[in-house]
A = this chain, B = another copy of it.
Amino acid sequence: MKTRITELLGIRYPIVQGGMQWVGRAELAAAVSNAGGLGIVTALTQPTPDDLRNEIARTRTLTDKPFGVNLTILPAVKPPPYAEYVQAIIDSGIKIVETAGNSPKDFIEALKRHDVKIVHKCTSVRHALSAERNGVDAVSVDGFECAGHPGEDDVPGLVLLPIAARKLRIPIIASGGIADGRGMAAALALGAEGVNMGTRFCVTQEAPIHPNIKQALVDATERDTKLMFRTMRNTARVFRNAISEEVVATENRPGGCEFEEVRPLVAGARGRAALESGEVQNGVVSAGQCIGLIDDIPTCAELIERMVRECREHLDRARSWMD
Interfacial residues, chain A to chain B (CB-CB below 8 A)? 1-3, 14, 125, 143-145, 153, 155-163, 165, 176-178, 180, 182-183, 185-191, 193, 222-223, 254-255, 289-290, 292-293, 308, 311-312, 314-316, 318-319, 321-323
List of B residues within 8 angstroms of A185 by Cβ: 186, 189-190, 318
Q: Which residues of B contact A188 (CB under 8 A)?
A: 189, 318, 321
Kindly identify which residue among B1, B145, B314 contacts A191, using a CB–CB cutoff of 8 Å. Answer: B314
Contacts of A191 in B (CB 8 A): 182, 314
In angstroms, Cα B318 to Cα A292, docked, is 25
Knowing A3-B321, A189-B185, A189-B189 are in contact, say whether A222-B159 is a contact too (CB < 8 A): yes
Question: Do A292 and B189 have beta carbons less than 8 Å apart?
Answer: no
* Cα separation A255 to B253 with both chains bound (whole Å): 10
Q: What would 25 A/B residue contacts be, using CB atoms closer than 8 Å?
A: A1-B321, A1-B322, A125-B222, A143-B158, A144-B144, A144-B156, A145-B156, A145-B158, A153-B222, A155-B289, A158-B176, A158-B186, A159-B293, A162-B182, A162-B183, A163-B292, A165-B182, A185-B186, A185-B190, A186-B189, A254-B254, A308-B322, A311-B322, A312-B322, A319-B319
Residue in B closest to A178 when the chains form the complex, CB atoms: B158
Q: Which residue of B lies closest to A194 (CB)?
A: B321
CA distance A319 to B156 in the complex (A): 23
Instruction: List B contacts of A223 (CB < 8 A).
Output: 153, 155
Q: Once the chains bind, are B189 and A314 in contact (CB under 8 Å)?
A: yes
**Structural contact, B189 and A315, CB atoms closer than 8 A:** yes
**Nearest 9 Cβ contacts at the A-B interface:** A156-B156, A188-B318, A185-B189, A186-B186, A158-B177, A162-B182, A186-B189, A159-B289, A315-B319
Chain B residues near A186: list those with CB within 8 A: 158, 162, 185-187, 189-190
Q: Which residue of B lies closest to A157 (CB)?
A: B158
Report the minimal beta-carbon distance from A21 to chain B, rounded to whole angstroms.
23
Question: What is the bound-complex CA distance between A9 and B185, given in angstroms?
Answer: 26
